[in-house]
Every structure is written in structure tokens, then in C-alpha cells.
């Protein structure tokens, strides 16, 4: 399993503990005003990207072949609720990526989903997803 962040940095991890340690280190080194997106590429080729370093997180997926459908997490704020369309930004490969608040998750939930993805290579079905 490969973990990539900041464009040119990557590392191979072999287990859940390694993944958690790498994500913890990246989060610890991330300035609070520049939350970062980190991609985890499963040996099957599927990629799940997680937002780290902020008070909220987000998940996005790209299948192994790189072609749609792409999916983004849905959080605990529904569309139409106050604040649902507010922007949340993460730094990804030299530019900001913007998401709506309704797509954001509590970081602990995003990390649990990432651990499930690590094990199966598939999007966790217990989480709600939006096709992009």
C-alpha cells in the first residue's frame, strides 16, 4: 500500500499500524491553516484520499483505472441545512482543493473509513458517498 502526499512524498506501508503511524505523522507535521490531502493507493489500484490536519476531514476516491465514477464522502450536515454549502479547503499537490461542508466528516470517522479501505480496497458501505 502506498501513501502519497505533497506531490513528491510517498511511502509504502504494510499494515494498519504502519498506516496509522504515517497518517499521524503527516497530520502532526501539517500546519493548522494548511490541511492536506493524502492519497492511499491499495495494491488493487483503487485510491482513497483523506483530508488531514483540520477540524474536519473529507474522503475522495478514484478507481484503479482512473476513470469515473469518482466518489466523495457525505458527512453529518445535509444539503440545504445552514452552512452545508460553506467551503472547506485542503492543500493537494501545490494547490487548494475545495469541498462543501456537507461532504466533510469528523476526522475519527474518516480515519476508520481509511482503515476499512486499507483492509478491503473498496469504499466502506457503511459511509454515504456522492458520485462526482
Note the pLDDT tens digit of each residue in 66-75: 999 999 999 9
Question: What pLDDT is attached to residue 81?
Answer: 85
Between CA 104 and CA 79 the distance in angstroms is: 12
pLDDT score of 125 more than 90 = yes
Assign residue 81 a region (left: φ > 0; alpha: ψ between -120 and 50; beta: otherwise).
Answer: beta
Q: What is the pTM assigned to this prediction?
A: 0.93
Query: What percent of the chain has pLDDT above 70?
Result: 100
Which residue has better confidence, 106 or 16?
A: 106
pLDDT score of 7 more than 90 = no
Question: What pLDDT is attached to residue 75?
Answer: 92
Amino acid at each position: 500500500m502506498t501513501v502519497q502526499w505533497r506531490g513528491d512524498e510517498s511511502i509504502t506501508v504494510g499494515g494498519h499500524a504502519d498506516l496509522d503511524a504515517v497518517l499521524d505523522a503527516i497530520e502532526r507535521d501539517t500546519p493548522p491553516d494548511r490541511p492536506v490531502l493524502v492519497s492511499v493507493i491499495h495494491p488493487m489500484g483503487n485510491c482513497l484520499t483523506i483530508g488531514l490536519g483540520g477540524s474536519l476531514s473529507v474522503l475522495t476516491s478514484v478507481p484503479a483505472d482512473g476513470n469515473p465514477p469518482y466518489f466523495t464522502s457525505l458527512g453529518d450536515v445535509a444539503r440545504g441545512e445552514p452552512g452545508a454549502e460553506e467551503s472547506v479547503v485542503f492543500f493537494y499537490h501545490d494547490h487548494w482543493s475545495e469541498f462543501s461542508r456537507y461532504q466533510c466528516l469528523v476526522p475519527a470517522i474518516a480515519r476508520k473509513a481509511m482503515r476499512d479501505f486499507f483492509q478491503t480496497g473498496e469504499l466502506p458501505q457503511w459511509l454515504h458517498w456522492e458520485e462526482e
